[in-house]
Amino acid sequence: MASVFEIGKFGAQVISVPAEKKRDKASSPPLPPKPVLIVSPTVAGVYPVAVFLHGFMLQNQYYTQILKHIASHGFIVVAPQLYTFISTQSTEDVEYAVSVANWLPDGLQPQLPDGVEHDLTKLTLAGHSRGGHAAFAVALGLAKTPLKVKFSTLIGVDPVAGKSKSSQTPPKILTYEPSSFNLDIPVLVLGTGLGDEKPNMLMCKCAPKGVNHEEFYYECKPPCYHVVLKDYGHLDMLDDDAPKIARYVCKNGKNSKDDMRRSTAGLIVAFLEAYVEDEKDDLEAILEDPQLAPAVLDPVRRHIERERERGGEGSAMASVFEIGKFSVEVIVVTAKEKGDEAASSLPPKPVLILSPTNAGVYPVAVFLHGFLLQNRYYTQLLKHVASHGFIVVAPQLYTCILANSTEDVESAAAVANWLPDGLRPLLPRGVEPDLTKLALAGHSRGGHAAFAVALGLAKTPLEVKFSTLIGVDPVAGTSKSSQTPPKILTYEPSSFDLDIPVLVLGTGLGDEKKNILFPACAPKGVNHEEFYYECKPPCYHIVMKEYGHLDMLDDNAPKIIAKCPCKNGKNCRDIMRRTTGGLAVAFLKAYFEGEDGYLQAILEDPQQAPTVLDPVSRREAKNEMDSL
Mapping DSSP to helix (H, G, I), strand (E, B) and coil, where does residue 101 land? helix
- DSSP 3-state assignment of 324? coil
Q: Where are the alpha helices (DSSP H) in 320-403?
A: 379-386
Under a CB-based contact definition with an 8 Å cutoff, are residues 628 and 620 in contact? Answer: no
Spatial neighbors of 575 by CB under 8 A, at least 6 apart, are 610, 611
Alpha-carbon distance 127 to 57, whole Å? 14
Q: What are residue 93's phi and psi, to 5 degrees?
A: -55, -45
Q: CA of 30: how far to CAs of 26, 42, 93, 105, 114, in Å?
A: 7, 22, 21, 10, 18
Task: Tell which residue, 79, 68, 63, 78, has the closest CA to residue 7.
Answer: 68
Q: Are 500 and 438 in contact (CB under 8 A)?
A: no
CB-count burial class (<10 Å; 0-12, 13-18, 19+) for 255: middle
Instruction: Give which of 316, 311, 320 is closest to 586, Cα–Cα.
Output: 320
**145 burial level (CB within 10 Å; 0-12, 13-18, 19+):** middle
For the annotated catalytic residues, the residue numbers are 444, 473, 549
The Cα diameter of the chain in Å comes to: 95
Q: Which residues of 212-222 are buried (b: 16+ CB within 10 A; e: fewer)?
A: bbbbbbbbbbb
Separation CA 169–CA 163 (nearest Å): 8
